[in-house]
Amino acid sequence: MKLLDFDEMITPKILTSLYIFTTLAAIAFAVILLSSGHIGGAIVMALVVVFNRIFFEFIIVAFKNNEYLKGNNDYLCRIAEAIEKGAAITAIPIDAHKDADFPSPLEPSQDKQ
């Protein structure tokens, strides 16, 4: 049963559902406030939606970092196995973990300082 394994996290799925629920509740509350003439309250609820997104992004970043580090660990294990076998490191493809947010650890940085 996948639920008993800790290879796949269920907390990000729960957080995503909670994010959707709280965002929809804030939007509904903003519409109710706007229809009753409380423009200031509706603006506050719109800000709650924005800060709700920021709050959940901070939490999800921790899980994304975990996935990234897990990919790096797999890649480094393959390099270690290749070194033990005496193979050239260049024979290992650099596609261990492709993520738009994080560059590969062996690719040159694109940052210019």
pLDDT per residue of the chain (113 residues) written in tens, 0 to 9: 566 777 778 888 999 999 999 999 999 999 999 999 999 999 999 999 999 999 999 999 988 888 888 878 888 888 888 888 876 555 455 555 555 555 555 555 555 54
Q: Where are the domains of the chain?
A: 11-91
Work out the angle between the directed axes of helices 39-85 and 11-35 (0-180°, nearest 10).
160
Q: What are the residue ranges of helices labelled H in 1-113?
A: 11-35, 39-85
Tell me, what amino acid is at 26?
Answer: A
Whole-prediction pTM: 0.61
Tell me, what amino acid is at 75?
Answer: Y
Chain CA centroid to CA 83, Å: 32
What is the per-residue pLDDT for 65?
Answer: 87
